[in-house]
Chain A
Amino acid sequence: MTATRMTLVAALNASLRTALADDPKTLVMGEDVGRLGGVFRVTDGLQKDFGEGRVIDTPLAESGIVGTAIGLALRGYRPVVEIQFDGFVFPAYDQIVTQLAKMHARSRGLVRLPVVVRIPYGGGIGAVEHHSESPEALFAHVAGLRVMSPSTPSDAYWMLQQAIRSDDPVIFFEPKRRYYDKGEVDTTQPAAPAHTARVVRPGADLTLAAYGPTVATCLQAAEVAAAEDGRALEVVDLRSISPIDFAAVEESVRRTGRLVVVHEAPVFFGAGAEIAAHVTERCFYRLEAPVLRVGGYHSPYPPSRLEDEYLPGLDRVLDAVERALAH
Chain B
Amino acid sequence: MSDDGIRLLGPDGKRVAHPTYSGDADPGELRALYRDMALARRLDTEGVTLQRQGELALWPSLLGQEAAQVGSVRALREGDRVFPSYREHAVALARGVDPLALFRLFRGVDHGAWDPDAHDVHLYTLVIGSQTLHATGYAHGLTKDGSDAAVIAYFGDGATSQGDVAEAFNFAAVYDAPIVFFCQNNQFAISEPNERQTRVPLHQRAQGFGFPGVRVDGNDVLAVRAVTRAALEHVRSGAGPFLIEAYTYRMGAHTTSDDPTRYRDAAEVERWRAKDPLLRLDRLLRAEHAADDAFFAEVEAEGEALAARIREGVRGMPAPRAEELFDHVYAEENSLVERERAEFAAYQAAFEEV
Chain A residues within CB distance 8 Å of chain B: 53, 58-59, 61, 63-64, 66-77, 91, 94-95, 98-99, 103-112, 143-144, 146, 166-168, 195, 242-247
Contacts and interface: CB of A to CB of B under 8 A. Distances in A.
B142 interface: yes
A167 B332 CA distance: 7
B154 to A, nearest CB: 15
B329 A143 contact: yes
B331 interface: yes
A168 B336 CA distance: 14
B171 A74 contact: no
Interface in B164-192: 164, 167-168, 170-171, 174
A294 B29 CA distance: 71
Interface string B311-354: 00000000000000001111110111101000000000000000
Given A71-B137, A72-B137, A76-B141, A61 B167 contact: yes
Interface of B, secondary structure class, is helix
A270 to B, nearest CB: 17
Interface in B86-143: 110-117, 122-123, 125, 127, 130, 132-142
B110 to A, nearest CB: 6
Nearest to A73: B137
B121 to A, nearest CB: 12
Contact of B141 (A77, A98, A106): A77
A70 B137 contact: yes
Interface string B141-176: 110110000000000000000011001101100100
Given A98-B130, A195-B335, A64 B112 contact: no
A79 to B, nearest CB: 8
Chain B interface size band reads 35 or more
A72 B115 CA distance: 17
A146 B330 contact: yes
Given A68-B171, A108-B110, A75 B142 contact: yes
A63 B164 contact: yes
Query: What are the 5 A-B residue pairs with the smallest beta carbon separation, nearest first?
Result: A71-B137, A67-B133, A75-B141, A68-B137, A64-B167
Given A61-B167, A68-B137, A244-B336, A111 B123 contact: yes
Nearest to A79: B137
B291 to A, nearest CB: 39
A58 B167 CA distance: 11
A143 B330 CA distance: 8
11 contacts: A68-B137, A68-B171, A71-B134, A104-B330, A105-B329, A110-B116, A112-B331, A143-B337, A166-B332, A168-B332, A244-B336
Nearest to A77: B141
A244 B334 CA distance: 10
Interface of B: 110-117, 122-123, 125, 127, 130, 132-142, 144-145, 163-164, 167-168, 170-171, 174, 327-332, 334-337, 339
Contacts of A107: 111, 113, 116, 123, 328
Which of B112, B133, B137, B163: most chain A Cβ within 10 A?
A: B137
B330 A68 contact: no
Contacts of B337: 143, 243
Contact of B331 (A71, A94, A104, A245): A104
B133 A70 contact: yes
A244 to B, nearest CB: 7
A58 B331 CA distance: 28
A106 B113 contact: yes
Contacts of A58: 171
A246 B134 CA distance: 35
A75 B145 contact: yes
A67 B134 contact: yes
Given A72-B137, A107-B123, A107-B328, 4 more contacts: A59-B174, A67-B132, A71-B136, A243-B336
A59 B164 CA distance: 13
B164 A106 contact: no
Nearest to B147: A75
B140 A63 contact: no
A44 B144 CA distance: 23
A72 B141 contact: yes
Contacts of B130: 67, 94-95, 98-99
Contact of A71 (B112, B133, B145): B133
A116 to B, nearest CB: 14
Given A72-B137, A76-B141, A168-B331, A63 B163 contact: yes
A98 B337 CA distance: 19
B124 to A, nearest CB: 9
A141 B174 CA distance: 35
Given A67-B164, A143-B329, A59 B170 contact: yes
A72 B140 contact: yes
A67 B328 contact: no
